[in-house]
Structure 1
Amino acid sequence: MSKHLRILLLMLGMLTSLCVYAESTPPLAKDKSSYPEQVALAGQTYILESARRACILRKPDQSVLTLDIPSPCHFSVGKDGQAHVEIFQNVPIVMVLHVAPMADSKPECRSQYKAIRLMKGQLEPSVLAQSASCLRGVGDQKSYTAMFDW
């Protein structure tokens, strides 16, 4: 398969993913408390907190993982209103988001996000990604898995 065809197929797949993501997104919450800030992974509770205007993840042992995402932040929201946990190859993955609306009257946002996976008992954050959209909802599995080497 030629390089140009691969790129075209990849771009088509990404466009399809964005369309699916847009169709499944709930409206922006009016206040921060409407977004999930805790999640259970492998039977342990992890909590998002703010420290010096940055988002951190508090682990069950009370240590923290710095995420390099501005606060406030929250987990991606599942259809049940709780934090969504994506499972890929038996590995749980969550998405942490910071969504900043750009205008009061239009749904224009700047978003930053990181996937975090729990692999062999260790948390592993992905690289920071950015988007010019109001990311909400579960999204597509590729959003959770593509930022890691498998």
Structure 2
Amino acid sequence: MSKRLRTPLLLLGMLTSLCACAESTPPPAAGSSYPEQVDLAGQTYRLDNAGQTCVLRKPDQSVLPLGIASPCHFSVGKDGQAHVETFQNVPIVMVLHVAPVADSELECRSQYKAIRLVEGQLESSVLGRSASCLRGVGDQKNYTAMFDW
């Protein structure tokens, strides 16, 4: 293959890859909000604000402190609802706090924590931080790597 043909093909391939990587679940439409409740094993769990931090309110109204700044929300699935990832028959959700930097929709600082329900008990992961806007479902390893299995 000649160098003249190889360079444009390489650039086209890179552009296609970039577009595929940039696709994500869009943020909710104006007027709607990110999911703040999720059903796990037939029970409804809700995110709530406790001062400046976010907590997970259990069905019995007790709370699990998350150590994440408020407001927070669950990761959004393609259906617009909270995404539940299942690994080894264990449901896992991701709680996020995303804050834009300097009035920019493209630059954010984020905190996130995975929560799993194992044998009726909630377990939260360590707190993660990111310099991105964390939209969409993410990959299964984002949910599972936060725990020892």
Report TM bin, short chain: 0.7 to 0.9
Could you state the TM-score of these two structures normalised by the residue count of structure 2? 0.82
**Corresponding residue number in structure 2 for 1:108:** 107
Shift of 1:20: 7.0
- Alpha carbons of structure 1 residues 136 and 30: separation in structure 2 relative to 1, 3 Å: same
**Corresponding residue number in structure 1 for 2:23:** 23
The 8 Å contact of residues 25 and 78 in structure 2, kept in 1 or not, is answered as no
Per-residue deviation, residues 15-43 of structure 1 (Å, max 9, x unmatched)? xxxx9774223147657x51000000000
- Unaligned regions of 5+ residues in structure 1, if any? 1-18
- Alpha carbons of structure 1 residues 105 and 127: separation in structure 2 relative to 1, 3 Å: closer
Q: Give me the whole-angstrom Cα distance separating, in 2, the residues matched to 1:21 and 1:145.
A: 21
Identical counterparts, % of pairs: 80
Partner-residue secondary structure (3-state), 1:111? strand
Q: Give me the whole-angstrom Cα distance separating, in 1, the residues matched to 2:97 and 2:140.
A: 19
**Corresponding residue number in structure 2 for 1:146:** 145
What number of residue pairs does the alignment pair up? 131
Instruction: Give the alignment's Cα RMSD to 1 decimal.
Output: 1.8
Ranked by relative contact order (alpha carbons within 8 Å, sequence separation 6 or more), the top structure is: 1
- Unaligned regions of 5+ residues in structure 2, if any? 1-18
Could you state the TM-score of these two structures normalised by the residue count of structure 1? 0.81
Structure number, greater radius of gyration: 2
